[in-house]
Amino acid sequence: MNKTIYHDAVVRGFTLSALFWLLAGLVSGIWLSLELLYPGLNFAPWIAYGRLRVVHTASLTFGFGLGSIFATAYYLLQRLTRTTLALPRLATGHLLLFNVTIAAGIITLMGGMNTTKEYAEFEWPIDLLFLCFWLMFTVNLFATLIGRQERQMYVSLWYLIAMTVTIAPLYFVNNLAIPLTPFKSYGIYAGTVDADVQWWYGHNLIGFIYTMPILAMFYYFLPKSAGIPIYSHRLSIVAFWSLIFTYLWTGAHHLILTPLPEWIQTVAIAFSILLIAPSWGVVVNGYLTLRGNWEQMYSNHIVRYFIFGITFYGLQTIQGPLQGIRTANAFFHYTDWVIGHVHMGTMGWVTMVVSGSFLSMVPNISGKKLHSVRLADLQFWLMLTGQLILTISMWISGILQGSMLKAITPDGSLSYAFLDTMAALTPLYLLRAASGVIYFIGILLFCWNIIRTFTDKPEEGPPA
Ligand code: HEM
Ligand code: HEM
């Protein structure tokens, strides 16, 4: 029988790129948390809060998020189709262009060139580069799928296809603009149409970057690392179709109680509630996969990343729909509650699952054991502790902020000035910065473990 040779150099390249952008994103996140405590840290324009915040979100969403998605996509695409990558040279070009685009994007954002649309801040030349590397990935994905040796398409492939065909049109439509100079353009939409298109894009970016491809990793690496097949393939497919159908209608839940027509807001709220069902279809499938094998939560250093990750995803998909309801949103919008929601998802779900996937994938592509299982364990506890403290402190901060900003005296004036809220939030902001450092130490151990696994000589790795 012929053995398939996999092209894993590009997987390694994207893995290392993702780690680089993860470190850059976390350093900027910690710096941002400190700037909110010590405003003197805004000492230069290129690290002023407004610029650094977008550096944080862009390096993590595009550099780390997409980098790890491409790494795992190229890996599992070849394994699930039992074939080699159709166009390996194109994949190398994709890796190079990806890093050039993100680096150019980050540098221009630090230079203050920014379209001011959230998660779409890059100016038009960078958007064009973005669409080019996306096209390169799309061609390779479909060419490999067409030449596949395995007839059945496992659910992870469906999630990758959904991401691939959705992101480029979303990105293109939302970024349509009239260029004035290479560094300045004006978006073609105005008013509520602009807001609606922006959040149709923004929410689906969350869905098709921070959810679908992460689910592709979850469905592939959980059964692989546990050595047990997924509980129900049928449930995974039903959840897939209902998830993608429901997701696309929910963007306007970011615009509750705004001038956007009320019926659009109501449709988004209703679809957000419906989204609980397919989301929990995945959570239940994950839990039932481990039935009778729960001791792996102690004995298997990778499985717990996925089970904790899917638990935070489950909590996130209950919190999200509830905070979208009008009365709740009137209280929570514009508060740190949303920042708590964001970081339970990004630090607890996305980064946990990416960590588990890399810890499982890198020994395979380098043909060695993981450098240190102990480091992987320690990383897990540091990440979990850091994420929980950060998330909970932001929820408390959000409740405090909402209550103070809305408190009214008997004569109808505001009880607190904005500065009073900032003073009250200081201990919670200190907790956020400290927990960010704990999380960051966990990530440093992760990077060290992955790099050492690549560089160890085969016989050097300590016993797993
Ligand atoms: C059923 C699933 C979910 C629903 C219905 C949902 C709902 C919401 C709502 C209503 C908001 C806006 C809150 C506000 O500004 O008042 C929000 C914000 C956000 N959510 Fe979720 N969420 C869900 C899952 C997730 C997941 C899995 C992630 C992954 C990380 C995530 C990441 C975010 C982010 C990044 C924002 C902030 C967007 C911004 O304003 O910049 N959400 N979500
Ligand atoms: C060391 C860990 C982290 C720290 C200290 C941190 C800190 C911060 C801070 C201070 C903000 C701005 C909050 C505000 O303006 O009120 C922020 C926003 C954000 N962070 Fe992080 N972050 C961390 C990890 C992450 C990770 C791992 C991701 C993604 C993978 C992420 C994605 C985001 C996003 C999408 C926002 C924008 C939220 C919004 O607009 O509602 N962060 N973060």
Residue with tokens 């894009």: 201
Residue 47 inside a domain? The answer is yes
Longest dimension (CA), the chain: 84
pLDDT of residue 4: 79
Tell me how many degrees the CA angle 253-162-7 measures, rounded to the nearest 5.
135
| Distance in Å, CA 100 to ligand 2 centroid | 23
Helices marked H in 290-417 — which ranges? 296-299, 303-324, 326-332, 336-343, 351-366, 373-406
Residues with CB under 6 A from ligand 1: 118, 206, 210-211, 250, 253-254, 272, 275, 279, 313, 316-317, 320-321, 323-324, 329, 332-333, 338, 341-342, 345-346, 350
Nearest residue to 278 (alpha-carbon basis) of 396, 159, 176, 164: 159
Shortest-distance atom of ligand 1 to CA 318? 1
Cα–Cα separations (whole angstroms), residue 40 to 35, 48, 54, 94, 193: 7, 10, 19, 40, 38
Question: What 3-state DSSP class applies to 48?
Answer: coil
Q: Which domain holds residue 114?
A: 1-188
List, for residues 68-86, the tens digit of each pLDDT value.
Answer: 999 999 999 999 999 999 9
Burial 386-402 (b: 16+ CB within 10 A, else e): bbbbbbebbbbbbbbbb
Q: What CATH number does residue 28 fall under?
A: 1.20.210.10
Cα torsion 118, 319, 326, 277 to 10°: value is 100
In a domain, 346, yes or no: no
Residue 30 domain flag: yes
422 CA to centre of ligand 2 in angstroms: 18
Number of domains into which the chain is organized: 1
Alpha-carbon distance of 341 to 91, in angstroms, equals 35
362 falls within a domain:
no
Give the Å distance between the CA of 91 and the centre of ligand 2: 30
State both tokens at 148: 């596949």
Structure tokens at 2: 């012929």
User: Which listed ligand is nearest to 202 at the C-alpha?
Assistant: 1
Q: Is residue 458 part of a domain?
A: no
Give the span between the Cα atoms of 371 and 393, in whole angstroms.
34
- The answer to whether 293 and 325 are in contact (CB under 8 A) is no
E strands, 87-234, are 177-181, 184-187
Q: Which residues of the chain have pLDDT under 50?
A: 463-464
Tell me the one-letter amino acid at 143: A
Residue 462 placed within a domain: no
pTM listed for this prediction: 0.96
Ligand nearest to the CA of 24: 2
Q: Residue 172: what residue type?
A: F
The pLDDT value given to residue 464? 46
Q: Does the residue 146 lie in any domain?
A: yes
Q: CA 338, 167, 250 angle in degrees (round to 5)?
A: 45
Residue 12 inside a domain? The answer is yes
Rounded Cα gap, residues 408 and 413, in angstroms = 6
Local structure of residue 78 (DSSP, 8 states) = H
d(CA 182, CA 284): 49
